[in-house]
Copies of this chain bind each other. A is one copy, B any other.
Amino acid sequence: MGMLEIKTERTTNKKNQPDVDKLGFGQFFTDHMFIMDYTEDKGWKDPRIIPYQPLSLDPAAKVFHYGQTVFEGLKAYFNVDKRVQLFRPDSNFKRLNASNERLCIPAIDEELALEALKKLIRVDCDWVPAAPGTSLYIRPFIIATDPCLGVAPSKNYQFIMIMSPVGSYYKEGMKPIKILVEQNYVRAVAGGTGAAKTGGNYAASLKGQEIASKDGYSQTLWLDGKEKRFVEEVGSMNVFFKINGTVVTPELNGSILPGITRDSIIQLLKSKNIPIEERRISIDEVVEAFHNGTLEEAFGTGTAAVISPIGELNWLGEKVILNNGEIGETAQMLYNHLTGIQNGSLEDPFNWTVTL
């Protein structure tokens, strides 16, 4: 059986596009969206591109009650040849299916999803912003739609993709962020859903974020749920430390999201022969390295910011200052190299980019 046909219904009422300076993140959406339905008897069916529009759902739909939902985030860029390119989209759809498995959601056809995304971008190609640092953020997600309150996996789902032109994350240049190490609240634990990209992880993180913000910190550093000792993630990013010339990032332990930017950074470091270790790293080790002068840099990695250098970590009131609060050279070099591949100004020996 071949791939399902993706139908397209074009809008007759195109939106006015926002000013590129006012884009921000995830606030404006393009003229169209992709949608596909799942029913128990027919499986995934009726993939279609339609005008961007509200979802009409029964108030008993399971997504409103039991959080049975997964999502992804990736970006499309205008490259130097004025063509649109995607960064590792196959990895995103593969991870979406890994999340589906954890959340008891039926797998999607990854190939069909990529074809649908390419088609959707072509329909809305005038929405891909061209200014330096801007991109088109893509949000694939799946929601459980059964209008039934029994606690059990849904029998009906919708897979949707929406797209948002986003501004440069570093409008006024890259700036190190201040991070509060969270002592009480926990984002995820081994055996939970931390390795899946599902709403509950983000819902759990809001309170820690609120506390950090009140104290003037921009994100939370999450420790493991078991011992509250080992570093897991920072905000909604993976985290890296450079200690005595070696880059260290927490190993994937079941409660950490397997970030695609994380993986790209690891591959980039290996290609440059910079020592990189994936292993457990305790907050004590980080603080000790600070005290003995071997803590050189720290940074977060994720699709939104790509690299987010950390200037300060607050642990139990002690301020751990990194690289005098300035951008580290490893962070800067990785940022330049990865964004260069993403926007097509640098060569891509990894075959990460997919040009439309």
Contact with B along A100-132 (1 / 0, CB 8 A): 001110000000000000000000000000000
Q: How far is the CA of A50 from the CA of B343 in the complex (A)?
A: 51
The size bracket of the interface on A is: 35 or more
Residues of B within 8 A of A199 (CB): 63-68, 199-200, 203
A200 and B209 within 8 A (CB)? no
Contact of A207 among B29, B65, B104, B204 (CB under 8 A): B104
A66 and B203 within 8 A (CB)? yes
Instruction: Knowing A55-B59, A200-B203, say if A64 contacts B186 (CB, 8 Å).
Output: no
Contact with B along A168-203 (1 / 0, CB 8 A): 000000000000000011111111110000111111
Instruction: Knowing A56-B55, A162-B59, say if A236 contacts B69 (CB, 8 Å).
Output: no
A33 in contact (CB, < 8 A):
yes
A103 and B67 within 8 A (CB)? no
Residues of B within 8 A of A33 (CB): 59
A57 in contact (CB, < 8 A):
yes
Residues of A46-103 whose CB lies within 8 A of B: 52-60, 63-69, 71, 102-103
Q: How far is the CA of A148 from the CA of B26 in the complex (A)?
A: 5
A13 in contact (CB, < 8 A):
no
Nearest B residue (CB) for A63: B64
Residues of B within 8 A of A162 (CB): 59-60
B54 and A203 within 8 A (CB)? no
Cβ of A208 to closest chain B Cβ, rounded Å? 9
Residues of B within 8 A of A143 (CB): 64
Contact of A203 among B67, B184, B206 (CB under 8 A): B67
A348 in contact (CB, < 8 A):
no
Nearest B residue (CB) for A26: B149
B52 and A54 within 8 A (CB)? no
Nearest B residue (CB) for A104: B206
B65 and A63 within 8 A (CB)? no
Contact of A54 among B57, B153, B206 (CB under 8 A): B57
Q: How far is the CA of A27 from the CA of B198 in the complex (A)?
A: 25
A253 in contact (CB, < 8 A):
no
Q: How far is the CA of A73 from the CA of B254 in the complex (A)?
A: 32
A139 in contact (CB, < 8 A):
yes
Residues of B within 8 A of A353 (CB): none
Nearest B residue (CB) for A225: B189
A160 in contact (CB, < 8 A):
yes
Q: How far is the CA of A30 from the CA of B230 in the complex (A)?
A: 50
Instruction: Knowing A59-B52, A139-B149, say if A103 contacts B64 (CB, 8 Å).
Output: no
Jot down 30 A-B pairs with beta carbons below 8 A, ordered by A. A24-B150, A26-B60, A27-B149, A29-B59, A33-B59, A53-B59, A55-B56, A57-B57, A60-B162, A60-B164, A64-B143, A65-B202, A67-B67, A67-B201, A67-B202, A67-B203, A102-B207, A151-B209, A184-B191, A185-B192, A186-B190, A186-B191, A188-B192, A190-B225, A191-B225, A192-B192, A193-B200, A193-B204, A200-B200, A200-B201
Using a CB–CB cutoff of 8 Å, the interface residues on chain A facing chain B are: 24-27, 29, 33, 52-60, 63-69, 71, 102-104, 137, 139, 141, 143, 147-153, 160, 162, 164, 184-193, 198-207, 209-210, 225-228, 235-236
Q: Lowest 9 A-B CB distances belong to which pairs? A: A200-B200, A26-B149, A67-B199, A186-B191, A67-B203, A66-B202, A189-B189, A189-B225, A104-B206
